Amino acid sequence: PFTLSTMSICSIEDVASVTKKPFWFQLYVLRDKDFVLNLIDRAKAAKCSALMLTLDLQILGQRHKDIRNGLSAPPRFTPKHIWQMATRPGWCIGMAGTQRRTFRNIVGHARGVGDLTSLSSWTTEQFDPHLSWKDVAWIKERWGGKLILKGILDKEDALMAAKTGADAIIVSNHGGRQLDGAPSSIEVLEEIADAVGDTIEVHMDGGIRSGQDVLKALCLGAKGTYIGRPFLYGLGALGKDGVTKALEIIRKEMDITLALCGKRLVTDMGKDQLRR
């Protein structure tokens, strides 16, 4: 399933209006609890089939690439940006015609947020560093459906997550963007999966670029994996058809790898297939 971010340029209602298939919603814990409750209720009204709670973004990491590239909200144009835009006229024309230039789950819904400038100030103030397992409990109670906790990197947190009654955890280092010295997701996946056993379902994201990557994660104990950049690369190149193509490539890579490993099903794969 597709997971819609709190910080998406499409609102929950935008997505619900164009698809009959259930999608998931990703949520941050923010200081404005009324706004968080409203987001949860909007996701329920849109019949989202699962809520994904991000645990590793209570403080924004030092994102060196963002700093070097001058990324900001609202954007500040530099000569470098202007040159990049000039060499991509098709992209500029497309952006000029879009109505979605802001975070539509927030602007118009959060108090005092009406444009990118006010959104930037609001975001800086809203991320709550005092996240605790009690927050997970009240969010689960309000949501009432499937809850997935994203951002687990050690077995102690994984075991605590299982005790909260969450349905699944995602072993994730936020793509290495929060703490660049943190271990990769796949480094700690096996230890976490072994620690929790069957008490909670274990998923993984971060660095999945091929069907072989998916199978490696499954061999190490994951029940599923997530992708971000691969389908975005496809989207950027060919639009909707590019997304389909990216998924087809990963599926084909999985099929070929299974065949060359002498296996028919992904459930036949295990640690014995890995050489370390």
Query: For residue 111, what is the domain's CATH number?
Result: 3.20.20.70
In contact, 243 and 249? CB cutoff 8 Å: no
Are 193 and 167 contained in the same domain?
A: yes
Range of the domain at 261: 210-220+227-276
The two tokens of residue 4 are: 């819609």
List beta partners, residue 225: 204
Do 193 and 249 lie in a common domain?
Answer: no
190 and 259 share a domain? no
Q: For residues 124 and 216, state if they share a domain.
A: no
Q: Which amino acids are annotated catalytic? A: 174
pLDDT of residue 128: 81
Answer yes or no: do 187 and 247 share one domain: no
Same structural domain for residues 151 and 266?
no
222, 265, 229: which is closest to 246 by C-alpha?
Answer: 229
Domain count, the chain: 2
Query: What is the C-alpha to C-alpha distance for residues 252 and 261, in angstroms, rounded to an integer?
Result: 14
Q: Which two tokens stand for residue 159?
A: 């075991």
Cα 40 to Cα 59: distance, rounded to the nearest angstrom: 22
Verify that 104 and 136 share a domain, yes or no: yes
- State the pTM of this model: 0.91
143 and 177 part of one domain: yes
- Tell me the C-alpha distance between 276 and 260, whole Å: 18
Give the residue from 171, 206, 241 where a domain finishes.
Answer: 206
232 and 175 in one domain?
Answer: no
Same domain, yes or no, for 92 and 15?
yes
Per-residue model confidence as pLDDT tens for the chain (276 residues): 899 999 999 999 999 999 989 999 999 989 999 999 999 999 999 999 999 999 998 777 778 888 888 887 777 888 888 999 999 998 888 888 887 878 899 988 888 887 777 887 888 888 888 889 999 999 999 999 999 999 999 999 999 999 999 999 999 999 888 888 899 999 999 999 999 999 999 999 999 999 999 999 999 999 999 999 999 999 988 999 999 999 999 999 999 999 999 999 999 999 999 988
Please give the pLDDT value at position 1: 87
Amino acid at position 152, single letter? I
Residue 167 and residue 256 in one domain: no
170 and 252 housed in the same domain: no
The Cα 6–Cα 27 span in angstroms is 6
User: Please, are residues 74 and 117 in contact by the beta-carbon 8 Å criterion?
Assistant: yes
